[in-house]
Amino acid sequence: MPLWRVRDFHDDDLDQAIHIWDKSREGGEPVFSAAEVVSMARAGHPAMVAVVEQDVVGMAAAKVEGERAWLALFALDTHWRNRGIGSALLDELEKKLRGQGVHRISSLVPEGAAGFKAMVNSGYRPRTDLTYFEKVEHLDPTEFGVLEELGGQLLPPGRWDALAGMTQEKDIIERRVVLPISHPAQAERHGVLPPKAIVLFGPPGTGKTSFAKAIASRLNWPFVELFPSRLAGASPDGLAASLRAVFAELEELDDLVLFIDEVEEIAGTRSTPAAGPAHGVTNELLKLIPGFREHDHRLLVCATNSVRSLDSAFLRPGRFDYIIPIGPPDEPARRAIWSRYLGPARDNVDLDVLVKRTDLFTPADIEFAARQGAQSAFERDVLHDDNTMATTEDYLRAVTDTRPTLTAEAIADFEQDIDNHTRL
């Protein structure tokens, strides 16, 4: 007669079961956490333990979902393996599951981990034609609530790679911003302080917001955008109080990219008359930034179309680590933008010609010209029964009719701002 026996799991077994579960993790991180398994057992899902006298030496638990059950935990004390305990645990657990109408039992177990041999011996068939996918959200429920209240979001991965072209800007941000944040140990070893706040400046429509979102996606941090224009009505006590309230709420988030677009609305030069009530929050913002910088895993990204209009105290190195120019889309970027908006006509046009003819066009300008070109082809199809796709000539006429956002004067000002304000 064996020295061990199998029985139902009791709450008193919890501490010993978690100890065995920890020891069994050597074969890899389990799919279900200890907390999930305990919750399942307490909720009535089948769970069995193997005991020697009063000591728990093994445990198996399953989560029932209709006619299928998932083996959520299988753990054995290393000193009691290869004695038939694993197969006995599975046998007793299967009896429970059959009694609940389960016809299929599934499990995800690393090869060589506890339970692998027992399942093979018990008639479980390994599936080698499957790939296990997992996506882990790092926010707890409290943080999700704060993020939702602030209108923030967790952006999907891949936005950084999707920023075609703009090689110079991406390289600077990757090296100066992303690398020190994502490799903190190496940064500390070399005395490099990860940046806490940066300014992106450039003409309207050059993609500053896209860069900010791409940074958040690259870091896998929540993204929150603060709209200066909405602060006025957020608190009866005025703009400064609204700003303080927002920053207080942000304290609930451990990781964060905070983006403020058109920051000149609340950080304009204080030596000039205020253009509106928002100008009065400049002092408050200057007070809040140092507190924001005290936290790790946070980055403030401010964007402006007019860096020269920002208060000099706002831009000093103690508040912002880098001031980075974001110019008009270069040729690779314009090619990617055109390709995105051409749709079915992509193979019917000379893309090189369109890219050359739209120098200094912003992404929004290109989108407008692409829509106009497609509209011409659509009208021919409906009105003249001509179902040919839009041609290069259609898009070139649309380009000619499009009034570019950027002007020679705006580009000249931008180039001067690069000389006067860039800090890399």
Most confident of 220-224, 229-233, 311-315, 343-347: 220-224
Secondary structure (3-state) at 127: coil
Secondary structure (3-state) at 158: coil
* 154 DSSP 8-state letter: -
Confidence of residue 28 (pLDDT cuts 50, 70, 90): low
Three-state secondary structure of 296-310: CCEEEEEEECCHHHE
Confidence of residue 76 (pLDDT cuts 50, 70, 90): confident
Q: pTM score > 0.85 for this model?
A: no
Which CA distances in Å does 272 have to 264, 309, 371?
Answer: 13, 10, 42
Confidence of residue 125 (pLDDT cuts 50, 70, 90): confident
* pLDDT given for residue 23 in this prediction: 67
Q: What is the b/e burial string over 375-412, where b = at least 16 CB atoms within 10 angstroms of the residue's CB? A: ebbeeeeeeeeeeebbbbebbbebbeebebbbeeebee
Q: Between 298 and 148, where is the model more confident?
A: 298
Which CA distances in Å does 253 have to 135, 223, 233?
Answer: 20, 11, 24
Tokens (6 digits) for 13: 């077994």
Tokens (6 digits) for 35: 């907390």
* pLDDT given for residue 80 in this prediction: 83
Q: What is the pLDDT of residues 48-75, one digit of tens each?
A: 999 998 889 888 889 999 899 998 888 8
Closest CA to 81 of 122, 115, 110, 111: 115
Q: What is the b/e burial string over 14-25, where b = at least 16 CB atoms within 10 angstroms of the residue's CB? A: eebbbebbeebe
* pLDDT given for residue 140 in this prediction: 61
Domains and CATH numbers, the chain: 4-121 (3.40.630.30), 141-328 (3.40.50.300), 331-405 (1.10.8.60)
Confidence of residue 261 (pLDDT cuts 50, 70, 90): very high
Q: What is the pLDDT of residues 215-248, one digit of tens each?
A: 999 999 999 999 877 776 655 567 788 888 888 9
Quote the percentage of the chain above a pLDDT of 70.
Answer: 90
Q: What is the pLDDT of residues 95-118, one digit of tens each?
A: 989 988 998 999 887 776 666 777
* pLDDT given for residue 138 in this prediction: 58
User: What CA–CA distance (Å, rounded) separates 146 from 150?
Assistant: 6
Secondary structure (3-state) at 228: helix
* pLDDT given for residue 137 in this prediction: 57
* pLDDT given for residue 274 in this prediction: 45
Most confident of 120-124, 170-174, 294-298: 170-174
* pLDDT given for residue 139 in this prediction: 61
* pLDDT given for residue 251 in this prediction: 87
177 close to 198: Cβ distance less than 8 angstroms:
yes
User: What CA–CA distance (Å, rounded) separates 380 from 345?
Assistant: 14
Amino acid identity of residue 205, one-letter, is G
Contacts of 230 (CB under 8 A, 6+ apart): none
Q: What is the pLDDT of residues 139-181, one digit of tens each?
A: 666 677 777 777 888 888 888 988 888 889 999 999 999 999 9
